[in-house]
Structure 1
Amino acid sequence: MRNFTFIGFIVFFASVINFTYAQTISTPSLGFTQACASPSFNTYYTTFSFSADIAASGSNQFTIELSDANGSFANGQVILKTNAGQYNISPATVQFSLPSDTAGESYKIRVKSSSPSATSVGSVSFPAYYKIQDSPFTINNLIGTAAFCAGGSYLLTIDNPGTGDNDSPLKYPSLTFNWYRETSSTTSTLVGSGETFNVTSAGTYYCETNYGSCTSDSYSNRVTISEASSGTSSEISSSLGNPYCSAEGATTLSTINADAYQWFKDGKKIDGATSQTYVTDESGTYSVSIDLGQCSTTASITLETSGFTSSIDVDETNSIQEGEALTATVTTTANNPTFQWYLNNNLISGAAGNSYTAAETGDYKVVVTQTSGCAASEEFLFSLFVTEPFPDVSNIPNIISPNGDGINDTWTIPVEYTSGSNTEVIIMSAQGKVVHQTNNYLNNWPENQIDFNEINPVYYYIITTANNAVKKGSITVVK
């Protein structure tokens, strides 16, 4: 009995000695709790210990294996193989990177040695994702509203390639997506997954690339979807906002996706405007009738420009007499406006205010520029000429002879009725047709040749002064 016990003890001791000196690799420890890799960051570390016989091998290579997303190594893959003899001091810390198709919550790694052969157990599980696309993207062609008829649905899709510089995640086949419905301004609930989502309940929806517990900038714009019925209204969005800066060019008006459209401006039908969008550079009230198939709806927007309005207090054509001057003043709503005045297209040095006193004949121009906010400009043109002093005649003539001889060619009346007196002068034909009407008479009628043969035409005048004194009479035109 004693011999049997002693032999059993010898066998057990030998087994312990053999295990103690067998090649072993400890469970790898991780220098992270989750791995959120990207093209700009993909560096991770693991530390493990190994037995003396592995350390003594000058030809040994360590291999780092990554499991599948469920932690199984049956379909695992090698993510690193060290050089022969590179690590011969235990413990060792090894750097590795994740494959670009990594996406899951329960990955593990394990370590193998080649000489002698040994395999560690798997590490603790960890979430790992390679964020191959990590920027905002668009859905629904960046149109922020949509509608479906009662009892129907609306299909939201990820744009590919989308609009503008949209980096569509659909260009990366390994990615998956989650769809959310907002429940408040700060909360949302997961409602679906996939490249599309069929909406059957009104609300605001958006999509995110599924990077699990990793934070990411790969998310879409919001789309507010309503349930429509005939007679309800929808929305119109402006690509440049509203008000919009007209200096940036035309803005694109967009409405919900539908079967057919008809656009209107200020209540009038716009011929040919029958698509989902309408491009315009004019302010006004725009509306669109929308055919959703099973029902119809409308939408409207009052489009405003963030430019400015201006006016000038002189006429396009102005006259002064020798020695006089004309002061032109601009009134504007522009933010921080600047003013540039020109004479015959030449910049007038020192003229930078909102008014300018002109004494020279010629063509004037003033350019008003808004320098804060929406950059925009507006210009006004006017001309100035000097007239000969009006002759101070005492009576209103009743005969003129416009034959070009320089004598009695125009109807010249006393200066008390001419320009500057605020007197209204009306000249009518014998048939009662008004041929000339002004509050600034320049002794210049007729301005155009009057053709007649033998019968001298007769015209009639009415002169009404500022204090409502009226003078009437006739004018006979002779050769």
Structure 2
Amino acid sequence: MVLLLVFSYTKTINAQIGTPSLGFSQACASESFNIYYATFPFSTTNLGATNQFIIELSDATGSFSNATTVYTSAQGAVTSSPATLGFAIPNTTAGESFKVRIKSTNPAATSIGSISFPAYYKIQDEPFTINNLISTGTFCSGGSYLLSIDNPGTGSNNSPLQYPSLTFNWYRETSPTTSVFVATGPSLSVTQPGTYFVETNYGTCTSNSYSNRVTVSEAGAGAEASILSSLGNPYCASDGDTTLSTIQGDSYQWYLNGVVIAGATNATYTTNEAGTYTVTIDLGNCVTNGSIDLNNGGFASTIDVSEFNMLAYGETLAATVTTDAVNPEFQWFLDELLIPSANGNSYGVTEVGNYKVVITQTSGCISSTEFLFTVTEPYPDVANIPNLISPNGDGKNDTWVIPQEYVNGTNTEVTILSSQGELVLKTNNYQNNWPENEIIFKDINPVYYYIIIPQNSKVRKGSITLIK
């Protein structure tokens, strides 16, 4: 009888809060998006004035034995049933079978867990490098070649190894669009020829955290090592020396135009001289070679207009190029059509369109560069940020038009995310043109979320509902 009474009491307590339903199917969080919603019914009978509702997150297996509190309401703040509460997941979250449950404090009650869902916090969500961007590797027959995530790597590489909670999956390409899983870990010992890359393990969440490709070959099978120039090829000699680097090996010897370079016996060689560079690499049990025809011609140019510009009727926009090119020639284009009379370093723009200017150095190192910029009519001045648009092609309310203080030219960061937290748009030059592509939906009006970060005013956040 005692057991029956305990069971009955427990059932009554649990029954005070219904099972939470989720407003999402997976939680793919990041620094720019981390808000998810759970809705639950509860009994308002005997609800204390000091009651608080708490959202707990299970571990990756769905167990609440070491649950994490991800939301706590203020005392007495939630009194109407059903309630919808938002929560954020911790930045160490990673797994495929999380659940949430709801607890109350007055009276004390606990719901059962929600349905399970994948949840990952994408603490690193941008491309990174492996093997210092060297695109090839070679191993001897019966040997192996080591691929490693760079830490920190060169330039602005954001190495995911800086984040200890992350794990990694390695893949080998089977076609230009398909690949197979190979192994996990921060490095991979390759014994089979192929093209390899690694991704940060965010499970079923899509991510931009992936590496460059490296093609690994077996020596003696026509394989040749690649050589990378740190300033590109061709590069501009006036920018200083460039560093040549090649694949991993036991020892090296560099050559310029077939002649041994004395003392050049490292994996890298720094130079500011054009020519054909080759390197012989001792891999231990075999030898391979690499070659690059290095060009060091170039020049510098700037233009004094922005990438995006607005031009009112009757006004003129003056665009001027400054360059150190020798005997430069200038060609100006409007919507890819050459403007015959425009051959100087400046041009007065009087109509909207897509512009391009090509600067060519005609003496010394003959080379070209170009600048692109767009000229549009002024944006409409709306008072409020809309939360409803109808992109149905009828010419009315087809795109998300926001106040002028947030659009192109104000350096305001505009971010749009899907309801699953996937990045849809991120720009500092928003042109009132989202969505640019058709969004197909039938029965459910999709909801997106925006974050507007102006230069000198408060951040704006909200939702955008698309209707037919």
Length-normalised TM-score, structure 1: 0.60
- Equivalent residue for 2:39? 47
- Equivalent residue for 2:21? 29
Q: Does 1:181 align with 2:172?
A: yes
Please state how far the C-alpha of 1:127 moved relative to its aligned partner. 0.6
- Give ranges in structure 2 of 5+ residues lacking alignment: 1-6, 300-324, 331-343, 345-361, 371-468
Please state how far the C-alpha of 1:307 moved relative to its aligned partner. 4.3
Please state how far the C-alpha of 1:296 moved relative to its aligned partner. 0.9
Q: Is the 8 A contact 2:95 2:203 kept in 1?
A: yes
Alignment RMSD: 3.0
Which amino acid letter does the alignment assign opposite residue 241 of structure 1?
A: G
Aligned counterparts of 2:165 and 2:9: Cα–Cα separation in 1: 50
- Equivalent residue for 1:415? none
Q: Is the 8 A contact 1:23 1:116 kept in 2?
A: no
Q: Relative to 1, partners in 2 of residues 1:52 and 1:239: Cα closer, same or farther, differing over 3 Å?
A: same
Deviations 1:161-197 (A, max 9, x none): 1111111111111111111111111111111111111
Which amino acid letter does the alignment assign opposite residue 97 of structure 1?
A: A
Q: Relative to 1, partners in 2 of residues 1:37 and 1:180: Cα closer, same or farther, differing over 3 Å?
A: same
Q: 1:373 aligns with which of 365, 368, 371?
A: 368
SS of the residue 1:264 aligns to: strand
Please state how far the C-alpha of 1:148 moved relative to its aligned partner. 1.0
SS of the residue 1:39 aligns to: coil
- Equivalent residue for 1:290? 281
Aligned counterparts of 1:118 and 1:21: Cα–Cα separation in 2: 5
Please state how far the C-alpha of 1:116 moved relative to its aligned partner. 1.2
SS of the residue 1:141 aligns to: helix
**Who wins on radius of gyration, i.e. which is larger?**
1
Q: Relative to 1, partners in 2 of residues 1:105 and 1:134: Cα closer, same or farther, differing over 3 Å?
A: same
Which amino acid letter does the alignment assign opposite residue 212 of structure 2?
A: N
Q: Is the 8 A contact 2:327 2:363 kept in 1?
A: no
Please state how far the C-alpha of 1:372 moved relative to its aligned partner. 6.3
Q: Is the 8 A contact 1:28 1:47 kept in 2?
A: yes
Which amino acid letter does the alignment assign opposite residue 183 of structure 1?
A: T
- Equivalent residue for 2:88? 97
Q: Relative to 1, partners in 2 of residues 1:82 and 1:252: Cα closer, same or farther, differing over 3 Å?
A: same
Q: 1:62 aligns with which of 53, 62, 78?
A: 53
Please state how far the C-alpha of 1:21 moved relative to its aligned partner. 9.7
Which amino acid letter does the alignment assign opposite residue 78 of structure 2?
A: Y
Residue correspondence of structure 1 range 16-415 to structure 2 within 5 A: 24-53=16-45, 56-229=47-220, 233-307=224-298, 336-337=328-329, 373=368
Query: Percent identity over the alignment?
Result: 59
SS of the residue 1:271 aligns to: coil
Q: Is the 8 A contact 1:306 1:374 kept in 2?
A: no
Aligned counterparts of 2:179 and 2:163: Cα–Cα separation in 1: 26
Please state how far the C-alpha of 1:94 moved relative to its aligned partner. 0.8
Please state how far the C-alpha of 1:368 moved relative to its aligned partner. 5.6
Please state how far the C-alpha of 1:249 moved relative to its aligned partner. 2.8
Length-normalised TM-score, structure 2: 0.61
Ranked by relative contact order (alpha carbons within 8 Å, sequence separation 6 or more), the top structure is 2
SS of the residue 1:170 aligns to: helix
Please state how far the C-alpha of 1:93 moved relative to its aligned partner. 0.8
Deviations 1:213-261 (A, max 9, x none): 1111111111111111498533323233333333333322222110100
Aligned counterparts of 1:168 and 1:21: Cα–Cα separation in 2: 49
Please state how far the C-alpha of 1:335 moved relative to its aligned partner. 7.9
- Give ranges in structure 1 of 5+ residues lacking alignment: 1-14, 309-332, 339-351, 353-366, 376-479
Number of equivalent positions: 310
- Equivalent residue for 1:344? none
Which 4+ residue blocks in structure 1 deviate beyond 4 angstroms? Answer: 15-23, 367-372
Aligned counterparts of 1:46 and 1:371: Cα–Cα separation in 2: 63
Aligned counterparts of 2:126 and 2:204: Cα–Cα separation in 1: 17
Which amino acid letter does the alignment assign opposite residue 103 of structure 1?
A: A
Deviations 1:422-448 (A, max 9, x none): xxxxxxxxxxxxxxxxxxxxxxxxxxx
Q: Is the 8 A contact 1:203 1:225 kept in 2?
A: yes
Aligned counterparts of 1:186 and 1:222: Cα–Cα separation in 2: 13
